[in-house]
Amino acid sequence: MTESELPRARAQAIIESILLAAEEPVLPARLCELLDGHKLRDVREMVAELNRHYQENGHGLAIVEVAGGYQFATRAELGAWVRRYHRDRTTIRLSQAALEALAIIAFKQPVTRVEIDNIRGVSSTGVLQKLMELDLIRLVGRSEGVGRPMLFGTTKEFLIHFGLNSLADLPRPRELEELLAAGEQKAQERQRGEAPAGLALPPGAADGGGPPQGPAVPAELTPGASGAGSGRADDDQQAG
């Protein structure tokens, strides 16, 4: 039996194995190359069938589209349990300054450093360097303005880290305002239910048991780079 004669069930098993072993999202076209005889439409149908199987049988995994390719991910409704498992692990968090700069670049790219500085009201040289070290932003060209300053844009790694298939998945300005308002309301609710100073609430104590609920914090990154912190500061002193 040749590769072009692979039965559909066998092809699906191969897709599962490849996605499980892959370190990055796998492009559908690449799967077509590996599964000679199966077209792009066949690959998409097989992935959809696998996802239906996972959901109907209560599996904890799903195949999602990230940065234009397929990748295994945990089901959204189980995210709280995954976060609970990882709560003691060291993670790298972007500072407020880095998050501000990254958000500006994501929504306004291509954008110059001067434009970023004008929006933030503070120099962004340090945070831009840190974001480039984390491979979240890159140079995409030069502006036609005076001095032809460099233009910044986001990377494929940015899409992967934040679970986006493309920049079109970013929230629209109005949706972003609603998300920020909802996040602020949740923060206020958590403050009202905080334990006394110096004590930490056990997981799930605020909601009566079970793992903590709510969306994952997108600022949590795990690249192999140092840098952490919170709060706004001049980026030359604190970038990561």
Number of domains in the chain: 2
Same domain, 128 and 190: yes
- CATH (domain of 214): 1.10.10.10
- CA gap 67, 71 in Å, rounded: 9
Q: What is the mean pLDDT of the chain?
A: 76
pLDDT at 92: 57
- At 189, which amino acid appears? E
Same domain assignment for residues 64 and 105: no
Is residue 226 in some structural domain?
Answer: no
DSSP 103: H
Residues 49 and 109 grouped into a single domain:
no
Mean predicted confidence (pLDDT) in 157-179:
80
What pLDDT is recorded for position 207?
A: 41
| pLDDT for residue 84 | 79
Let me know whether 106 and 145 are in one domain: yes
Q: Does residue 67 sit in the same domain as residue 122?
A: no
Residue 138 resides in a domain? yes
- Are 63 and 28 within 8 A, CB to CB? no
For the entire predicted model, the pTM comes to 0.50
Do 127 and 23 have their domain in common?
Answer: no
Look at residue 17 and tell me if it is in a domain: yes
Could you tell me if residue 177 is inside a domain? yes
Helix 125-133 × helix 113-120 angle, to 10°:
120
Strand order in the sheet with 150-154: 111-112, 150-154, 137-142
Which span out of 28-37, 74-83, 84-93 was modeled with the highest average pLDDT?
28-37
Residue 48 and residue 13 in one domain: yes
Most confident range (mean pLDDT) of 43-47, 90-94, 121-125 is 43-47
User: Is there a contact between 229 and 98 (Cβ–Cβ < 8 Å)?
Assistant: no
The domain containing residue 39 runs over which residues?
Answer: 3-74
**DSSP string for 59-71:** -SEEEEEETTEEE
Q: At what angle do helices 96-108 and 125-133 cross, to 10 degrees?
A: 80
Q: Which residue has the higher pLDDT, 20 or 189?
A: 20
Say if 207 falls within a structural domain. Answer: yes
Let me know whether 144 and 70 are in one domain.
no
| 14 and 48 share one domain | yes
pLDDT at 211 over 80: no
For range 128-143, the mean pLDDT? 92
Q: Which residue has the higher pLDDT, 57 or 214?
A: 57
Judge if 130 and 168 occupy the same domain. yes
Same structural domain for residues 101 and 217?
A: yes
Residue 51 lies in a domain: yes
Say whether pLDDT at 145 is over 90: no
Environment class of residue 4 by beta-carbon count within 10 Å: exposed (0-12), middle (13-18) or buried (19+)? Answer: exposed
Residue 163's pLDDT is 82
